[in-house]
Structure 1
Amino acid sequence: MLYWWSKFVLLGPLMRLLCRPTIEGLENIPEKGAAILASNHLAVVDSFFLPLLVPRRITFLAKREYFTAPGVVGFLKKQFFTGVGQVPVDRSGGSAAQDAMDTAVRLLREGKLLGIYPEGTRSPDGRLYKGKTGVARMALQAGVPVVPVAMIGTDKVNPIGSRIWKPHPVHIRVGEPLDFSRYAGMAGDRFIERSMTDEIMYSLMELSGQTYVDLYAASVKEKAAAATADRVPGTRAG
C-alpha cells in the first residue's frame, strides 16, 4: 500500500507535471516473473521515474544509510524510500558485497522485478561507464533475463549536487530482454560474466546514445576528488 501511495498520490503527479515523462518499449518488460532491469545511471531521480512509468513494482537495492538517519527527518526518509520500492543493503565492501548479492538473488527467486545500475554509481559527466559484473552474476545465479533500460534527461532534472528538481522532459527507452540462458551454470566464471556485462553495456549505449568510456565511474570520481584535494591547500597530507 505504501508503495502505491508514494507512486500515485504523493510524488507522481508532481513528477508528471514538471517533466512530462514518457516511455517506449514498455512491452519488453515481462508482465510477471523475475527479471533484472539494468539501467544507465544519470541522477538520483532515475530510481523515481522508472517505477513511476512501469506498472509492475520495481525493487532497488539502496544504501542502508538512506534508512538509518536519526530523528523525524530520518523516519520520513525511511518511509519514503521504502514507499518507492527500495530495499536497504550494506554496500561498504567485503562481505557486504556478498550480502547485497544474496539479497538480490533472493528477490529474483521470489519472482520480483529488480532494478540495477551496472555502472555502480551515477555518471560524473553524462557518459556511459564500464559495467560491474555483479549484474551478470545475479542473472546467472537466479536464471533470469536482463532488460536494458536507458534513462534520458534525468540529469537535467536533477544535476549532480542539486537539491531542487528542475523542469525538463524525461524519456525512458526499454530494449529487448537479453537472454543469457546459454551460460547457465557458469556463474563465477569471470570471463563469462565480463562478456555478459559488456553486452549489457553495449545495449545501453545503443539505447541511450551516450558515449561509452571503458573505465569504472567510481575510479574516475576518485581521481577527480584527489585532483581537487591536491589543488586546495590543507586538504591532503603532504
Structure 2
Amino acid sequence: MAELVYRPVIGFAKTLFKVWDLDIDCQGSENIPRSGGAVLVSNHISYLDFIFNGLAALPQKRLVRFMAKESVFRHKVSGPLMRGMKHIPVDRGQGETAYEHALDSLRSGEIVGVFPEATISQSFTLKSFKSGAARLAQEAGVPLVPMAVWGTQRLWTKGHPRNFKRSHLPVTIRVGEPVEAPRDQYAGAITRRLRERVQELLEAAQRAYPGRPKGPEDSWWLPAHLGGTAPTAEALRTAEAH
C-alpha cells in the first residue's frame, strides 16, 4: 500500500524534533508486533501524543492509524493530512461507524491507535478508560499494546500556550508487553487490566524523566501528587459538575 502522505509527514516530524532539539527517550518498541493487527493504547496529555505514539512504532516498520475526533478531519490543514494518512474519524454521535472502520483496519493487519481516556487529562494523571479498545481487540482477535508518554504536555496541551522553542526538552516513551484480549473474558476486566498496565508504564516514564520544574511558576505540568501545581482530577470533576 503506497503511503504518499504518511511517510513525508514522518520525515517532517523528525525534522521538527531536531529543530526543537527534543531529548526523546523511547524504550520498549520491540513489544509492538512487526506484523498483523494490534490496538496501541496510550495515556493522553497533549495534542501531540499521537506523533510520539507513532514514533515508537517506527523501529518495527509499522504505521499507526489513529482514531481521532471528526472535527480534526474537517480542518483545512489537518483534514487532508489525516485522511491521507488513513487515520480514523470518530463522530461521537455515530461511534459505530468509527468502530467498524477500526475493526476493518485491524482485520486487514493494521495497527490502530486509541486513547481510551477519550480526552486530554488536564491533571496529567490517568482518567477512567472506556472499553472500546478492549472490545475492538476481542472482536478482531488481536492484542492490546499499552504505552505511556511523558513530557509531551510541556510542548502543547489544553489550557496552556504552545512551546515550540528550541529547548532540549525531554520526552519519555515507554511501550509495554502486549495484553491479550480473549473473547470469553468480560471487556471491563480487560480494560481494568489494561489501565493498570498503562499506569505502571506512566510511572516508569515519570521516574526516568530527567526534567524538573525550574520554579513554582514552571510546575504547572507536574501532577499534584508529584509536587506540581496541575489541578487534581477531583478538582477538575468538581469544576465540570458546576
Does structure 1 residue 184 correspond to structure 2 residue 183? yes
Gaps in structure 1 of 5+ consecutive residues: 187-191, 212-216, 228-238
The residue type equivalent to 1:208 in the other structure is L
Q: Measure, in 1, the Cα distance between the counterparts of 2:143 and 2:74.
A: 33
2:92 aligned partner: 91
Q: Equivalent residue for 2:25?
A: 22
Alignment check: 8 A CA contact 2:88 2:101 kept: no
**Contact persistence 1:139–1:146 (CA under 8 A):** yes
Secondary structure in 1 matching 2:88: strand
Flag the 1:165–1:86 CA change in 2: closer, same or farther, 3 A: farther
**Is the CA contact (8 Å cut-off) linking 1:57 and 1:113 kept in structure 2?**
yes
Q: Does 1:174 align with 2:172?
A: no
What corresponds to 2:83 in structure 1? 82
The runs of 4+ residues in structure 1 deviating greater than 6 Å are: 217-220
Q: CA 1:163–1:114 in structure 2 vs 1: closer, same or farther (change >3 Å)? A: same
How far apart in 1 are the matches of 2:160 and 2:127? 22
Structure 2 partner of 1:41 = 44
Separation of aligned partners in 2, 1:185 and 1:99: 24
Change in CA separation of 1:129 and 1:178 when aligned onto 2, cut-off 3 Å: same
| Residue pairs, 1:48-67, within 5 angstroms | 48-55=51-58, 56-67=62-73
> Distance in 2 between the 1:80 and 1:16 partners?
21
TM-score normalized by structure 1? 0.78
Identical-pair percentage: 33
Query: In the alignment, does 2:74 pair up with 1:68?
Result: yes
**CA–CA separation in structure 1 for the residues paired with 2:178 and 2:87:** 23
Give the whole-Å Cα distance in 1 for the aligned partners of 2:63 and 2:98: 19
Uncovered stretches (5+) of structure 2, i.e. residues with no partner: 207-222, 224-231
8 Å CA contact 1:4, 1:83 repeated in 2:
no
Distance 1:43 1:37 in 2: 17
Between the aligned partners of 1:143 and 1:87, the Cα distance in structure 2 is 19
1:17 Cα shift? 3.8
- Any idea what SS the aligned residue of 1:111 has? coil
2:198 alignment counterpart: 204
User: What is the RMSD computed on CA atoms of the aligned residues?
Assistant: 2.5
Q: Quick check: 2:88–2:98 contact (8 Å CA) kept in 1?
A: no
Q: Name the CA shift for 1:222/1:104 in 2 (closer, same or farther; >3 Å).
A: farther
Alpha-carbon separation, structure 2, partners of 1:203 and 1:53: 17
The alignment status of 1:195 with 2:197, answered yes or no, reads no
- Amino acid in structure 1 at the alignment position of 2:171: V
Report deviation, 1:121: 1.2
Q: Distance in 2 between matches of 1:203 and 1:147?
A: 10
Q: What is aligned with 1:235?
A: none
- In the alignment, what sits opposite 2:8? 5
Q: Which residue of 2 aligns with 1:141?
A: 139
Q: 1:125 aligns with which of 123, 126, 132?
A: 123
SS at match of 1:179: coil
